[in-house]
Amino acid sequence: MSRENVELHNVAEPLPADDGVRLDRLPPAVTEPFNDRSQEEYERPDGVEIRFVGESAEITLSCPEGSCEATPFWGPFQGRPAEHVTLGAEPTTIELSLPERVAAVDRDRLDDRYFDPTVGRLVLFGNPVVLHDVSGDVRPPEPAERPDGTLLTYGTSITQGACASRYPVTYGHQAARHLGADHLNLGSGGSAFCENALADYVAGRDDWDWAVLAVSVNMIAADFDADEFGERVRYLVDTVAGAHPDKPVAAVTLYPFFADLCPDSSDGDEWPATPSEYRQELRDAVAAADRDNLHLIEGPDLLQDPGGLSTDLLHPMDHGMTEIAHRLADRLRER
């Protein structure tokens, strides 16, 4: 998605709002049949990037409710902590100038896995954001200035990046970097219910080269029994993989969480299914689809260190995200 002189990456449809445009990850026409929480989550700009090529730019943003972190990059090089900006309700103008050392980088030391160092990238992570203005002699990046491939990830708040300290630490962003790819984040915290409309939407997109479907602890907590979960994931994995037979699609079973680590706990006693039943339903869905490009990956194989979780024993922290990212990238390379 481009808007005037910048590229709005991972933005499906800029929507008029508060003297600017809100940077939603999915269009309202797609999210309309989703649950209310999921509709709200796709208004969050987690993994949205404002990209440009030029010596400098001034980008004015606001976060009408709550806050949003803005992390600057130049190509693959992340800005120092002092350059990170926390957005609030008042419009904030972020001034970005190409650092001299980055401009002088020997291009022969980089390859086509990387963004060109002249690509300015403002990476967003937090509550809904409004873009008010971009000024400066800039243009959108050309395809040759971006990585060749793109990794698309769908899943829960773990995929969205809930407990990562900053967005670049999320497993999807890190895995894409290991693959030398760009990243599209379609995580939906607390609300990844594998709707058929979501499956159709991902299947209809042609801007990704790998898809990871990590589903879905949210559905256990929302009282979907094993049969209901199985029906939805069968449609999800078969529809996405079937629409793109030349592209690898990975279905990831539940990551380890408190129900696995606290066997004597009463947590989950009222659930209509067990984590083991959910994992088996996804295994069965992949087997039933019988597609060469569809691959099963076990969540506990990606996150083997339980100490990678936060104290809620559900969401990975930074080191858990890093472990998942490394192993996921390795599995996708194998395929």
pLDDT tens readout for residues 93-131: 999 999 999 999 998 888 878 899 999 999 999 999 999
The reply to whether the predicted model has a pTM over 0.85 is yes
pLDDT for residue 321:
98
The stretches of 26-99 forming alpha helices (DSSP H) are: 28-31, 36-41
Give the pLDDT confidence score for residue 291 in this predicted structure.
Answer: 98
**pLDDT (0 to 100) of residue 2:** 47
3-state secondary structure of 105: coil
**What is the distance between the alpha carbons of residues 26 and 201, in angstroms, rounded to a whole number?**
9
Cβ burial 281-304 (10 Å sphere, 16+ → b, else e): bbeebbeebebebbbbbbbeebbe
| pLDDT, tens only, 284-325 | 999 999 999 999 999 999 999 999 999 999 999 999 999 999
Contact between 279 and 256 under an 8 Å Cβ cutoff? The reply is no
| Structure tokens that stand for 8 in this block | 């709005």
Tally of CA atoms within 13 A in the half-sphere of 102 that contains its CB: 20
**Percent of the chain scoring above 90 in pLDDT:** 90
pLDDT in tens, 159-187: 999 999 999 999 999 999 999 999 999 99
Q: Which of the residue ranges 24-28, 266-270, 272-276 would you say has the lowest mean pLDDT?
A: 266-270
Torsions phi, psi for 258 (to 5 deg): -60, -30
The per-residue pLDDT for range 51-103, each reduced to its tens digit, is 999 999 999 999 999 999 999 999 999 999 999 999 999 999 999 999 999 99
CB 56 within 8 A of CB 136: yes
- Is residue 266 very low, low, confident or very high in pLDDT (cuts 50, 70, 90)? low
Is 224's pLDDT higher than 80? yes
pLDDT in tens, 238-258: 999 999 999 999 999 999 999
What are the φ/ψ torsions at residue 123 (nearest 5 degrees)? -95, 130
